[in-house]
Structure 1
Amino acid sequence: MKFEDKRTAIIGSFINRFTIGFLISVTVLPMYGWTKGVLIGLLISLPDALITKAYLPIIVLGVIGGAIIGGFIG
């Protein structure tokens, strides 16, 4: 994808991924760790995927990253 300001896009992506990890660690849900990670990763990644129309890479990375972080924390 082409962005006018790549630095801003990279910072935004970092903040998004950091938020996924942070929310997985502080959220209490009645489910196992990796499933909580998948759910939070999907919900946090979905707005960015809709805005950029790059659904597959953004959602897949959010879900896989969420599952890994949730598995370590859970």
Structure 2
Amino acid sequence: MNRLVLGILLGIAFGVIDVLMVLNHPDRTTAMLLQAFSSRFAIGVLGANISLPMHPALGGALVGLLISLPDAFIAKSYVGIIGTGLIFGALAGWAAKAWAA
């Protein structure tokens, strides 16, 4: 499968998963939902398409960390946001290594 197509599919999946997690937040707003989807979409696309001199899962995790840091600082929710960013990034890198051409 093409890396870009795989990244887009992973980004949509990660975005939907994160939006579903944000729906449980008592003070959720439309801006929170859009932010959650867009940052996780970026992690999926970039994590699957990054080319660094390290294992793709580590490169994806690095992308997930860097994209998640601003959101974590703003929301003051470090473990949840950075944790899912690392996991989704590593999954995107691993999936690209396993399935992308």
Q: How many residues align?
A: 72
RMSD value over aligned CA atoms? 1.2
Aligned 1:8-19 pairs, distance under 5 A: 8-19=31-42
Compute the TM-score of the two structures, normalised by the length of structure 2: 0.66
Give yes or no for the alignment of 1:32 onto 2:43: no
- Structure 2: distance between partners of 1:13 and 1:69: 17
* C-alpha distance in 1 between matches for 2:46 and 2:37: 14
Instruction: Structure 2 unaligned segments of length 5 or more: list them.
Output: 1-24
Superposed CA deviations along residues 19-64 of structure 1, whole A, max 9, x for unmatched, are 0111122322111110011111001001100011000100000001
Superposition misfits of 4+ residues, deviation over 6 angstroms: none
Note the residue ranges of structure 1 that are not aligned, 5 or more in a row: none
